[in-house]
């Protein structure tokens, strides 16, 4: 029989057992990626707070940055920078020490955009009276793209006010730090189009207790303000920066120094990178241990005045901790709302489920309060130390002194809880790397630890209350502007005043509780004055009433305007 004469039951072997194709990959009920939207312009609280405390003229540039931050390309940079982490190259092929750290190109792309947008030190060179507010809004916006590279951006911002303690030293470094050009690489500072600053204060034996540092500084004969340093620094972030602020002991006591990576003649300073830290988060950024050995350094400020010299650096860094934590919470909330808007369960969209709405509204309150507080702190910076200090500069400086430690304590502490709850809104997918939320969650605790952990900031609040009474007066003036408008708010203020009147010996153990209450009252006063009634009323009812926060999100028994809160927070 010829092949053409086969009967129907005589099929070839290659087709007998082949099943009919079944399409198992039709994807249903899944949200699209949250990309290509205006991170700034879609954030109602941020845009309104920027307009109130700054200026609306900055909106076009901030919206441009916001659209870039959410673009698919920048989101890819974020993943690559976090995946392909920095690599230490201590020696070259011949055995010479080079102490270099190699970064993925995505890191440099992120840094380039941040510097070009002026998120580093640009406000210090600006004559705009709202330069720090504009920069703060941009920092919150751009930080949502990838947080790790925010570290050297923030350190550069914080280094300038410390350098300005000595105009001669500042003249050497500030023009390069305020440049809008990112110029990576170890070369003579004078030959570079832009500079980045780092800092390395803590050592193994003391941590935040920097007065126990063992690094020593020896004057160089015949060189004014020049010293050699010997010591080991436990934490040094972004070790490929161009210059670093460090602390070391002289005969006059603990002193601040500027340590350049490359000297004026182009030779490399002794800056031995012993290892890179393996960290929970912030993995795109290189954190290291370094050693000084006969390392050249330039004295900044007087001998024995090291802590006093870096006070403004600490203030600027703490502001960025609040801004960065606000950004992380905002990013997590945006993803939670977006997911619940586009996924259904049990016959409804998730966002229409009553309990989900309860949770989302509560998260929105937290983020909105942090946002308004962040911008108020930036406005205090403009008024106190900006280009054009106003008639209220003394009040603003005093408020900034007390508000920064309490805000840094409280907002940064709330971030981990907020991000975790937002992840849970996504369910299982929230725990998966592709959503980006695990990266945000790993980042969440960092700002609470950096520049003084929770206890350090709570105790610094007590220090301000004891040594600078004007700071308490400034806080009372802020909250006092709205006293009499809400009985619950007034009762909470009375509770703080009662706590302050107790035996001072007991107050140290209550410092965390005091910081929390004072920070929330400051948030409440700002919201009552500037935010819509729906936001302010919800904050007071859920945070300041007896038995209010801290608690789990969504666990409140009071009527609030859930619809308005969610609509204001939605990323569209």
CB–CB of 115/295 below 8 Å?
A: no
**Which residue ranges form the domains of the chain, and what is each CATH number?**
44-308 (2.40.110.20), 310-569 (1.20.140.10)
Mean pLDDT of the chain: 94
CB–CB of 133/52 below 8 Å?
A: no
What token pair was written down for 144? 């949502």
Summarize pLDDT for 143-186 with one digit per residue, the tens: 999 999 999 999 999 999 999 999 999 999 999 999 999 999 99
Torsion angle in degrees (nearest 10) through CA of 355, 356, 361, 364: 150
Is 443's pLDDT higher than 80?
yes
Taking the C-alpha atoms of residue 498 and residue 77, their distance in angstroms, rounded to an integer, is 51
> Measuring CA to CA, which residue among 356, 355, 340, 332 is closest to residue 423?
332
Summarize pLDDT for 23-72 with one digit per residue, the tens: 777 888 999 999 999 999 999 999 999 999 999 899 999 999 999 999 99
Give the per-residue pLDDT at 14.
53
What's the pTM value of the predicted model, to 2 decimals?
Answer: 0.94
Is 13's pLDDT higher than 60?
no
CB–CB of 366/558 below 8 Å?
A: no
Q: Average of pLDDT values for 528-540? A: 98
What token pair was written down for 273? 């990178």
Q: What are phi and psi of 253, to 5 degrees?
A: 115, -170
Summarize pLDDT for 162-174 with one digit per residue, the tens: 999 999 999 999 9
H helix runs in 430-541, sequence order = 437-443, 446-449, 454-467, 469-480, 487-500, 504-507, 511-530, 533-539
Give the per-residue pLDDT at 328.
98
CB–CB of 568/560 below 8 Å?
A: no
Summarize pLDDT for 83-131 with one digit per residue, the tens: 999 999 999 999 999 999 999 999 999 999 999 999 999 999 999 999 9
Is 409's pLDDT higher than 80?
yes
Compute how many other C-beta atoms are within 10 angstroms of the C-beta atom of residue 428. Answer: 9
Compute how many other C-beta atoms are within 10 angstroms of the C-beta atom of residue 36. Answer: 10
CB–CB of 465/487 below 8 Å?
A: no
- Whether cis (ω within 30° of 0) applies to the bond prior to 550 is yes
The Cα angle at residue 113 between residues 85 and 366, in degrees rounded to 5: 80
Torsion angle in degrees (nearest 10) through CA of 511, 513, 514, 520: 140
Give the per-residue pLDDT at 4.
45
What token pair was written down for 501? 């009147």
Is 10's pLDDT higher than 60?
no
pLDDT grade, residue 505 (50/70/90)?
A: confident
> Measuring CA to CA, which residue among 465, 308, 459 is closest to residue 401?
465
Q: Is 474 exposed, middle or buried (0-12, 13-18, 19+ CB in 10 A)?
A: buried
271-275 own/partner pairs: CB under 8 Å, 24+ apart = 271/99, 271/239, 271/295, 272/90, 272/97, 272/99, 273/88, 273/90, 273/99, 273/101, 273/236, 273/239, 274/232, 275/88
Give the per-residue pLDDT at 131.
97
Q: Average of pLDDT values for 390-419? A: 96
Give the per-residue pLDDT at 15.
55
H helix runs in 220-310, sequence order = 306-309
Taking the C-alpha atoms of residue 525 and residue 540, their distance in angstroms, rounded to an integer, is 9
Give the per-residue pLDDT at 327.
98
| Coil vs helix vs strand at 532 | coil
Taking the C-alpha atoms of residue 423 and residue 27, their distance in angstroms, rounded to an integer, is 21
Which DSSP letter does residue 292 get?
A: E
CA distances from 490 to 366, 455, 482, 540, 541 (A): 20, 27, 9, 10, 12
Q: What is the DSSP string of 199-215?
A: EE---TTTTT-GGG---
Residue 348's H or E segment, with its range, is: strand 348-349
Is 9's pLDDT higher than 80?
no
> Measuring CA to CA, which residue among 314, 326, 285 is closest to residue 463?
314
Summarize pLDDT for 193-238 with one digit per residue, the tens: 999 999 998 888 877 788 889 999 999 999 999 999 999 999 998 9
Q: What is the DSSP string of 105-131?
A: HHHHHHHHHHHHTT-SSGGGG---TTH
Is 377's pLDDT higher than 90?
yes
Give the per-residue pLDDT at 1.
43
Total residue count of the chain as it appears in this document: 572
pLDDT cut 70: percent of the chain above it: 97
Q: What are phi and psi of 89, to 5 degrees?
A: -120, 95
Q: What is the DSSP string of 214-245?
A: --EEEEPTTSTTEEEEEEEEEEEE-TTSSEEE
């Amino acid at each position: 029989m010829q092949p053409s004469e086969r009967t129907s039951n005589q099929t070839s072997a290659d087709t007998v057992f082949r099943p009919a194709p079944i399409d198992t990959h039709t994807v249903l009920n899944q949200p699209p990626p949250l990309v290509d939207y205006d991170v700034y312009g879609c954030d109602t609280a941020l845009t309104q707070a920027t307009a109130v405390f700054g200026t609306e003229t900055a909106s076009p540039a901030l919206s441009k940055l916001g659209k870039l931050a959410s673009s698919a390309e920048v989101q890819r940079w974020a993943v690559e920078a976090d995946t392909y982490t920095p690599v230490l190259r201590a020696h070259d092929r011949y055995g010479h020490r080079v102490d270099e750290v190699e970064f993925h190109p995505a890191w440099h792309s992120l840094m380039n955009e941040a510097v070009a947008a002026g998120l580093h030190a640009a406000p210090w060179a600006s004559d705009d009276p709202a330069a720090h507010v504009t920069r703060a809004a941009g920092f919150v916006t751009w930080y949502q793209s990838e947080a790790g590279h925010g570290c050297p951006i923030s350190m550069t911002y914080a280094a300038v006010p410390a350098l300005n303690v000595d105009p001669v030293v500042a003249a050497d470094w500030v023009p390069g730090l305020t440049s809008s050009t990112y110029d990576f690489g170890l070369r003579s500072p004078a030959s570079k189009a832009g500079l980045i600053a780092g800092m390395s204060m803590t050592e193994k034996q003391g941590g935040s207790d920097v007065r126990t540092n063992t690094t020593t500084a020896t004057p160089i004969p015949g060189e004014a303000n020049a010293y050699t340093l010997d010591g080991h620094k436990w934490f040094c972030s972004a070790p490929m920066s161009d210059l670093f602020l460090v602390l070391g002991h002289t005969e006059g006591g603990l002193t601040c120094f500027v340590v350049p990576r490359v000297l004026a003649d182009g030779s490399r300073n002794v800056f031995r990178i012993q290892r890179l830290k393996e960290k929970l988060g912030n993995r795109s950024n290189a954190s290291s241990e370094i050693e000084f050995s006969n390392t050249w350094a330039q004295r900044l400020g007087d001998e024995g005045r090291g802590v006093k010299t870096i006070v403004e650096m600490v203030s600027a860094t703490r502001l960025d901790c609040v801004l960065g934590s606000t950004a992380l919470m905002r990013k997590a909330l945006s993803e939670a709302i977006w997911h619940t808007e586009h996924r259904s369960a049990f016959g409804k969209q998730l966002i229409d489920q009553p309990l989900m709405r309860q949770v989302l509204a509560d998260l929105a309150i937290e983020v909105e309060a942090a946002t308004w507080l962040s911008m108020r702190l930036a406005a205090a910076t403009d008024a106190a130390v900006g280009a054009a200090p106003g008639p209220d500069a003394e009040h603003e400086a005093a408020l900034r002194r007390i508000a920064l430690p309490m805000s840094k304590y409280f907002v940064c502490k709330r971030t981990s809880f907020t991000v975790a709850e937002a992840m849970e809104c996504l369910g299982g997918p929230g725990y998966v790397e592709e959503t980006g939320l695990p990266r945000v969650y790993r980042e969440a605790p960092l700002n609470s630890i950096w520049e003084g952990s929770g206890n350090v900031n709570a105790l610094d609040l007590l220090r301000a209350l004891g040594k600078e009474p004007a700071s308490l007066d400034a806080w009372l003036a802020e909250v006092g502007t709205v006293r009499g408008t809400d009985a619950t708010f007034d009762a909470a203020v009375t509770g703080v005043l009662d706590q302050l009147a107790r035996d001072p010996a007991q107050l140290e153990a209550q410092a965390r509780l005091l910081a929390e209450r004072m920070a929330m009252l400051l948030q409440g006063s700002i919201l009552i004055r500037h935010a819509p009634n729906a936001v302010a009323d919800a904050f007071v009812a859920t945070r300041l009433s007896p038995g209010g926060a801290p608690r789990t999100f969504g666990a409140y028994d009071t009527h609030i305007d859930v619809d308005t809160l969610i609509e204001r927070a939605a990323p569209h």
